[in-house]
Amino acid sequence: MYALLLSVVVRLYEIKWFILGLALSQYLARRVGRAFGNLARFDGPWLAHVSDLWLLKTIYQQRAHYVFYDIKKKYGKLARIGTNKLITCDIELVTRMNAPRSEYKRSDWYLGFRLAPGIDNVGSLRDEKEHTKRRAQMSPGYTGRDGIDFETTIDKHVENFIHLIRTKYLSTTTSFKTMDLAEKAQFFTIDVITDLATGAPFGDLTSDADQHEYLRTATEAQPAFVMISSIPALTKIIQIPIIGKWLFPTSQDKIGMGKMMGIAEEKIAERFDPDSRRRLEKSDIMQSFIDNGLTQQETLSESLLMMLAGSDTTASAIRATMLCILTSPLTYQKLQAEIDTASLSKPVVRDAEARKLVYLQAVILEGLRMHPPPGGLLPRVAPPDGDLFNGEYLPGGVEIGVNTWGMLRDEDLFGPDPEMFRPERWLEIEEWRYAEMARVVGLAFGSGRFKCLGRGVALMELNKIIIEFMRNFDWAVVDPTKPWKEANVGIILQREFFVRVTERSPRNILS
């Protein structure tokens, strides 16, 4: 059945202009009037004043983050990108929309986070009370308060990654090998999150293969899904159970998301069945969800979202941070020197030790600032009575998306060179400025009631893997003029990031 879904979405993607034109033509006439209505005073591309075609074209091109940054430079921090849509990179407004008691709500765009028709998860819930309740139930699992040993689990997969490089991908003076860091980074993150979630990793690193073809099928389907989710009317249609059951993956599928669903379904059913419930050898996030009151269906939905989102975003952050390091010789040398002279645990550094490395933390924060994983708009809907912000009236019901790329290049906060990767901007500055810069970088992972629950796990993975990469190996990008292929499909993903890895000579390691 998943093959059917994949063929359908790929076909929709191939006939994109017909589908887009058909879906929007019925709205165009009445939306033209909006060009001269409440949003007429906001600047933006001329087509965006009368149609959503401009936005859909931008999303289709998979370079939306660059386009939105250009919008900021041309039209300012609050601009128009659709008939009833604005985009902002105003830090204060983004914080205001995400605040715990804010009257801004999630838009219909979030329906695209549903992984089964009509079944919500914490990423798609728009009811504020239900969303708050769900987050409270899930928080102990993501923070480790239920006795989950995050660090030992992550360490195991860091060691697996280092072993894989050493046994298959090392180059020497007489042998040249390339490694696709984009692929291997995702193998690492999917193994980590499936192990933390269910106690059983997929095993992508140990097999050096895309188990169940999950990554391949997800990559092929994501462009079509992001297009469909950008047309709320179409999203609502496929969310109708009688229609969605023919399009969404199912647990009977042999590959991809459906296969993942089948594995999760089996494990969850076992834990809910009193007759077959087994004693867990170690606690995991899935069990925490159950212990904190999630139903069987809710546990399945949240576990799948966690494995999907937790893998993609962290892999994107690892790739981007490594590219920044490898293309900045000064940063490379200073970071490796800091790691070499520090007293760090072996074979894998402890997270607490990594957090004390000042330059490492500057590199990670700067990498996240330069290449934040989120690429979607994450739109909020203004309160019914509208809102007055900095003297500007925002009409009730208008959707306001977040220009993450533009927000993290705010010159007033980050300095006059925001387009440059420069970790030194985080050093020798006042504590309040460092804290504010770090807070704003954190906005890329949400804040307030929308703060990413898995952020702590992702940062622990980054701390450990960057250190072990740098103290064990020397790295070079195979083609610096074209280091990777990049696509914005709601999350900014990279493919074909080919690198050359060599063993570090003991005489080059200071400790």
The string of DSSP codes covering 151-186 is: HHHHHHHHHHHHHHIIIIIEE-SS----EEHHHHHH
Between CA 65 and CA 69 the distance in angstroms is: 6
Length of the chain: 511
Q: Which amino acid type is present at position 315?
A: A
Neighbours of 474 (CB within 10 A): 16
Owner of token pair 């990423």: 123
452 a known binding residue? yes
162-184 burial: b if 16+ Cβ within 10 Å, else e: bebbeeebebeeeeeeebbbbbb
Contact 306, 285 (CB under 8 A): yes
Q: How far is CA 378 from the centre of its chain?
A: 12
Q: What is the 3-state secondary structure (H, E, C) of 44-63?
A: CCHHHHCCCHHHHHHHHCCC
Q: How far is CA 208 from the centre of its chain?
A: 23
Contact 363, 335 (CB under 8 A): yes
Contact 374, 98 (CB under 8 A): no
Residue in 443, 469, 387 with CA at minimum distance from that of residue 102:
387
Element holding 9 (H helix, E strand) = helix 2-14
76 contacts: CB under 8 Å, gap ≥ 6: 43
Owner of token pair 């430079």: 73
Q: Which amino acid type is present at position 507?
A: R
Between CA 376 and CA 408 the distance in angstroms is: 15
Between CA 266 and CA 103 the distance in angstroms is: 40
Between CA 188 and CA 179 the distance in angstroms is: 14
477 in helix, strand or coil? strand
- Phi-psi category of residue 391: left, alpha or beta, with phi > 0 → left and psi -120 to 50 → alpha: left
Residue in 371, 376, 378 with CA at minimum distance from that of residue 462:
371
Rg, C-alpha atoms of the chain: 23
Residues of the binding site:
452
Residues of the binding site for heme:
452
